[in-house]
Structure 1
Amino acid sequence: MKSVGILGVGQAGGNMAEIASVLGFQTALINTNQRDGAVNTRVERKYFVPGYNGAGQDRSLGMRAVQEKYREMIDFVLGSFKNIKLLLVAFSTDGGTGSGMSPLLIDLLIDQLPGIKVGAIAIIPERNVLAGNRINTAECIEELSQIEGISSVFLVDNDQMRKLKPQSSKHEIYLSANRQTVEAISHVLKITNKSSFYGNFDETDLMNILGTRGVTLISSVAITDTKTSAEVSTKVQSSWENSIFCPVESQGVIRAGLIYEGPETISKLINVPSIFERVGEPVQLFEGTYLSETDPTVTTILAGLYFPTRRLLSLEESLEKNKERLQNLVKKEHTQKYESSISWASNLKIKKTEKQTVSITSKLSKYKK
């Protein structure tokens, strides 16, 4: 795992880095809130932005933290990762720290890490999050998509996990999505260390794929019961729909990886044009075949995909529908006031009068008859 580093930004990013540390990745985290990062005990390298105590879901605070402390952050990253070829910045798009800091930080790191590709692991929230979170995600993804030198962007979709585990708590959804994301990247890295007479998928192949600008997806699927090439292709394509990443919405793969592990008899069912028919033939395809007696599995990596417009619009639609109401709510915050209609009653309030001392003689004389 030494060729890929994972930098967690914000609480969600720190949690992703925590899992990555357990799996052997080089990791570090940056946060505006020390209490959030303190729970990530497996991550040894940490930078907490001085003068901040969280961002309170305010992206502008996260962005300002980078603008104020970018030199310290760059130095921290340079000192935290050694001999890596790819740095993936992990964060949630709907908060304040990770969402606000990460696009700008990635843009800066691209020029400050010579010879190292910089990509992202961006977490997309469930569809039922509230307006503020939706706004943050839309702004963050827009900024991320405009970074010219960025490498692979993995869009981790919590909605996908909710479909698979509808009764799970938020914590379970987050933990499962984070774990599956890091395990998917770990799996393809481990494959690059294997040897085969039939075609190796090496680290150079992987870095060529992951260095591609655009959205990237990794999926693995067992093809144990398949009997035809069409069944294999259907299973692989279904794995793209059921992965923890945003589903593929349109054609346009630039670079791809196709790795088969299993018996030789099943390998004969793999038909490359058929598998990629739905997303289009990639410009470059890197393959690996590893024959064994294990259950047959196909792992695919799709890179250079378009950002999933339909998925992102699903977050924006409710904002558009409630545009007037939301604008009025914000306006009310600055204009609302209450005017009392009983100002006349203030004169009815009892007022204390000063007590005047009267002589005893005066009081006695008042009662003389």
Structure 2
Amino acid sequence: MRNKIAFIAIGQAGGNIGREFEKKGFQVLYLNTSKEDLDTLKEAKHKYHIKGGEGCNKVRKKAKMLLSEDFESIFEEIQQKLHAEMYFVIFSSGGGTGSGAGPMLIDLLSDEGKTVGAVTILPSKSDSLKAHINSYECFNELTAIEQMASCFIIDNEVTDKMTSNRIFADSFDRFVSIPEKFHSELGNIDTAEIMETLRTRGVAKVIARPQVGENYLDALKDNVFAPNEERAVKYIAAVLPEAAKMEDIVKEVGTPVDIFQTPGKSEFICCVAGLSYPQARLDGIYNFVEKNKDDVLKNLSSSSKIQMKSDVNFIDDFEKDTVKSTDDSKPKSKRDLMKKYL
């Protein structure tokens, strides 16, 4: 499965998650407008600096312009370095490079006939207003991409960033490894079913707990992903421990179109796909921006308004009067100055 799925990590946040996947043996290409950010990825195999980029300092439009001007070279880089059936573009929705270039790159690659999903990150409440604005604009674009595969939405409000990255990468890796590691006469999950689950349009979550016991349902609520309110789901694919029942999972997440399952001993691995986007969480981002908008506009406006007097430089006025008397004798250009010395 690691040969079938590849990751394109954009920006610094995307690069941090990408490193977790590369450590597990997945193909990863790192893209960034900042050479300095790329340089921090010391052991990364495939890195590409987007031409003309010096970082985007949270300006999404700048990232879009740079991507559009360099897309042919980026696409060639992807073709040469990554060989897979499915690609996931990883980026932060609140940054500049990833937020601006992420949705656009997914759309462009999908238009080239590739199967592309997303792994994106929501800002925490402590992140800046600009990060919240970027995130909301990013999701406006992301949700409009009709041909996109599954979208995993990591929520930085849940836990610290690096912990979330490791948990997600580990859970995803365990999920795609199911066909290799779990076999039973009672039923198996094959590679085609894993790929079908990940191809599903909409939001996906993947949860893995090595030792879960009877509290496996808690894992469906307590995870690194943004919460969903609607009980809409297309696929459930799961390794179920002895104490688990699929009907209880269905009660928790909703009735799917199809179920793929295989038994395990104490390990619980579950991917639910085709979920709705986290409306309440996105509304919260929008409301945060609206609540703070007037204060920020007032601050921006007041910072450019100040009463200044124009008659402070009496020295210049004196020198102007002095220069008038000798003005005709002074050189008027570089050529005149050179004539003076010739």
TM-score of Structure 1 vs Structure 2, range by shorter chain: 0.7 to 0.9
* Structure 2 counterpart of 1:272: 246
Stretch of structure 1 that moved more, 322-331 or 116-125? 322-331
* Structure 2 counterpart of 1:66: 67
SS of the residue corresponding to residue 252 of structure 1 reads: coil
Alpha-carbon spacing, 1:303–1:336, altered in 2? closer, same or farther (3 Å) = same
Distance in 2 of aligned mates of 1:212 and 1:351: 77
Matches within 5 A, 1:1-369: 1-82=2-83, 84-112=84-112, 114=113, 116-161=114-159, 173-194=160-181, 195-221=183-209, 225-226=213-214, 235-261=215-241, 267=242, 269-290=243-264, 292=265, 296-332=266-302, 336-340=305-309, 343=311
Q: How many residues align?
A: 319
5+ residue gaps, structure 1: 162-172, 227-234, 262-266, 355-369
SS of the residue corresponding to residue 226 of structure 2 reads: coil
The amino acid that maps onto 2:162 is: L
5+ residue gaps, structure 2: 323-342
Alpha-carbon spacing, 1:339–1:242, altered in 2? closer, same or farther (3 Å) = same
Deviation track 1:35-67 (CA, whole Å, cap 9, x = no partner) reads 101111232111101211100110001111111
Conserved in 1, the CA contact under 8 Å of 2:5 and 2:87? yes
The amino acid that maps onto 1:107 is: D
Conserved in 2, the CA contact under 8 Å of 1:7 and 1:90? yes
Distance in 2 of aligned mates of 1:208 and 1:220: 19
Percent identity over the alignment is 27
Distance in 2 of aligned mates of 1:271 and 1:348: 87
Stretch of structure 1 that moved more, 203-212 or 281-290? 281-290
Distance in 1 of aligned mates of 2:315 and 2:82: 74
Conserved in 1, the CA contact under 8 Å of 2:175 and 2:270? no
Conserved in 1, the CA contact under 8 Å of 2:120 and 2:153? yes
Conserved in 1, the CA contact under 8 Å of 2:103 and 2:141? yes
Distance in 2 of aligned mates of 1:71 and 1:222: 43
TM-score, structure 1 normalization: 0.80
Alpha-carbon spacing, 1:337–1:281, altered in 2? closer, same or farther (3 Å) = same
Shift of 1:347: 7.3
Distance in 2 of aligned mates of 1:47 and 1:348: 54
Shift of 1:350: 10
Conserved in 2, the CA contact under 8 Å of 1:17 and 1:43? no
Stretch of structure 1 that moved more, 270-279 or 203-212? 270-279
Larger radius of gyration: 1
TM-score, structure 2 normalization: 0.86
Alpha-carbon spacing, 1:321–1:75, altered in 2? closer, same or farther (3 Å) = same
